[in-house]
Structure 1
Amino acid sequence: MIMVLITQTDIVMQDDTLFSLAGRRALVTGASRGIGLTLARGLGRYGAKIVLNGRHPEPLEVARAMLEREGVDAAIAPFDVTDQDAVIAGVEKIEGECGPIDILINNAGIQRRAPLDQFSRADWDALIATNLNAVFFVGQAVARHMLPRGRGKIVNICSVQSELARPGIAPYTATKGAVKNLTKGMATDWARHGLQINGLAPGYFKTEMNEKLVADQAFTQWLCQRTPAGRWGNVEELVGAAVFLSSDASSFVNGHVLMVDGGITASV
């Protein structure tokens, strides 16, 4: 008689719904373009219903129409993520009119570059407001609905600058380092209630925010030499990690920051 031992791992590996987002609703902040729009499209292709957030409705409508042409169920929710009252009202409206938010992609962010000794207070305040305060405001507002349901996924967009610094962007580095630890704090408080809160940290990607760096041949040469993968990342390469952190595949992953950086943080 031949006996076959079936392990829990075998069962998991055969579960083709592990990465499915069917029936779930994802709010993506800063979603009218760039990484936010790419992640919204990616989650939509795995079955999620998407709610696109940004300050202005016009570009969100353009993005929504594009996603719907591609077969993605999408709605828009324009509000300012740096305004806590607007965030609370916006999240309440989504929950009431669209339905429960199952996934939050906390993506909204900005960059300001200047020598540290010349960095203006206005630029510092703008970075703190958008890159850090907004992550707290939206994360808290969404979690208040997730906690009673006992489930939910929050993915905070961190950065390679959550770990490393580079001349001219010290305040940005400070905000992304703070987001990394805020992510750990959220997990520490909310994991026991059934939520998974993790960070997704892109390395150097070809985005609108990095257009000047991509066009700088000297910088691109340095980056390709510094990065083990030897190139810039393409934003579509972030989708797999976002789907993993948004799906049942990451059901016991909490407070983790997943680097998607071509190996730059792994080498000296």
Structure 2
Amino acid sequence: MSETMNDYAGLFRLDGKRAALIGAGGIGREAALALAAHGAKVTCLDKDPATARATAAEAGGEAQDLDVTDAAAVEQAAAGLGEVDILVLTAATNVRKRILDYTPAEFDRVVNLNLKATFTVLQAFGRRMVRRGQGSIVVFSSVRGYVVEPGQAVYAATKAGAIQLVKTAAAEFGEQGVRVNAIAPGVVETPLTNQIKANPEWYDAYATKGALGRWAKPAELAGAVVYLASDAATYVTGTTLMVDGGWTAVDGRYTPPT
């Protein structure tokens, strides 16, 4: 890209870029489609082979099985994919329980996927990007990395931890030309939030927490992924982009009578 940055029409184009997307359902599916629409060649990786194949077919890319909690498998996937320009990590899980009710097994399950696997992915893919001297990594965090509620202790801790891992990776990889950023969604209609959607009172309460007064669709996160992956964000690293409908900007929504 030239110093004048005068190719604004192509600022978000990803032609010739190779993208690896880990977690191919829900938000991941939309991210894959958006990356492909902007010219990237996308490889979809997911623990569920059917999910990986379905998203890859829609995005015109390739599919691979990957259990991201298996460090050796992540290393093998990174090595097998070779030169990756863009890495997007959306895989996550949650167990909604209060601290006093959490079991050690549940704690380990959430931490191993949401935090430990994030570290493993940053290590495996980041190492290769640093060697090449280029690349963009996008990790999905959450508003829960900033604000909490009862029953979200472990999930929130892992999402806050992911933000700190992103900041540190940005600091360590930056001089080698690798950018690392996070996206923090608010409430999004995905399988992970089925428990909330099944309860109308709970669903409506979440909808009114943000400034827009509604939930997000997975497709509404895709633009943030493309932005952070593209030349539009060449001077953006170590940041967390809030895509939360104003959730963290307001303390609940109330429209007084006039």
Q: Shorter chain as normaliser: what TM range?
A: over 0.9
Corresponding residue for residue 206 of structure 1: 189
1:78 aligned to 33, 52, 65, which one? 65
- The answer to whether residue 90 in structure 2 is matched with residue 107 in structure 1 is yes
Q: Map residues 232-243 of structure 1 onto 2, 5 A cutoff.
A: 232-243=215-226
Corresponding residue for residue 119 of structure 1: 102
| SS state at 1:109 partner | coil
Deviation at 1:62, TM superposition (A): 2.6
Instruction: Point out where structure 2 has 5 or more consecutive residues left out of the alignment.
Output: 252-258
Tell me the distance in 1 between the aligned counterparts of 2:8 and 2:183: 24
| SS state at 2:138 partner | strand
CA RMSD in angstroms, aligned pairs only: 1.3
Q: Map residues 149-228 of structure 1 onto 2, 5 A cutoff.
A: 149-228=132-211
Tell me the distance in 2 between the aligned counterparts of 1:34 and 1:182: 24
Which one-letter code corresponds to 1:38 in the other structure?
E
- The answer to whether residue 27 in structure 2 is matched with residue 44 in structure 1 is no
| SS state at 1:76 partner | strand
Tell me the distance in 2 between the aligned counterparts of 1:216 and 1:13: 50
Deviation at 1:63, TM superposition (A): 2.5
Corresponding residue for residue 57 of structure 1: 49
- The answer to whether residue 77 in structure 2 is matched with residue 90 in structure 1 is yes
Deviation at 1:215, TM superposition (A): 2.6
Tell me the distance in 2 between the aligned counterparts of 1:148 and 1:182: 19
Tell me the distance in 2 between the aligned counterparts of 1:221 and 1:200: 24
Tell me the distance in 2 between the aligned counterparts of 1:225 and 1:143: 38
Deviation at 1:117, TM superposition (A): 0.3
Deviation at 1:13, TM superposition (A): 6.3
Tell me the distance in 2 between the aligned counterparts of 1:158 and 1:122: 22
TM-score by length of 2: 0.93
Corresponding residue for residue 5 of structure 1: none
Q: Is the 8 A contact 1:42 1:239 kept in 2?
A: yes
Tell me the distance in 2 between the aligned counterparts of 1:23 and 1:249: 16
Tell me the distance in 2 between the aligned counterparts of 1:173 and 1:61: 30
Deviation at 1:14, TM superposition (A): 5.1
1:62-121 C-alpha deviation (Å, 9 max, x unpaired) = 3322x1xxxx331112121111111111111111xxxx1100001111111112101011
| SS state at 1:155 partner | strand
Corresponding residue for residue 136 of structure 1: 119
- The answer to whether residue 235 in structure 2 is matched with residue 252 in structure 1 is yes
Give me the identity figure in percent: 35
Instruction: Point out where structure 1 has 5 or more consecutive residues left out of the alignment.
Output: 1-7
